[in-house]
Amino acid sequence: MKKLLTTAVAVFALAGVVEAGCGKKQNDSGTLSSFDKGTKTLVVSVDGKEVTLTATKKTVAKDANGKKTDLDSLVGKKVKVTSEHKKVDSVEAS
């Protein structure tokens, strides 16, 4: 009985680790077409296609000099966006 209980706990623990996320980062380079502060949605034009992503509290925006800035100030500029599952980690002007 102890072995069965220990095995069940181990299986559930591993399932939680697997469910935590793949950790795969997506890098997109293009022009920041728009940013909506209300919905925190940004649209990036990448190779003629529009990619819609969502900013989070942890999203960091940097200008071409590497200084922190607002996403609004990057609209219309060439940017590199790093995201995971459509949630933006960082936006850097290039």
Q: What whole-number distance in Å separates Cα of residue 73 and Cα of residue 28?
A: 18
Fold of 24-93: OB fold (Dihydrolipoamide Acetyltransferase, E2P) (2.40.50)
Q: Token pair of 24, please?
A: 């795969």
Q: What whole-number distance in Å separates Cα of residue 36 and Cα of residue 89?
A: 17
Neighbouring CB atoms inside 10 A of 94's CB total 9
Percentage, residues of the chain above pLDDT 90: 72
Residue 23's pLDDT is 77
3-state secondary structure of 79: strand
Q: What whole-number distance in Å separates Cα of residue 71 and Cα of residue 81?
A: 11
* pTM of the predicted structure, to 2 decimals: 0.73
Please return the burial class of 55, using the count of CB atoms within 10 Å of its CB with bins 0-12, 13-18 and 19+: buried
Q: Above 80 in pLDDT, residue 32?
A: yes
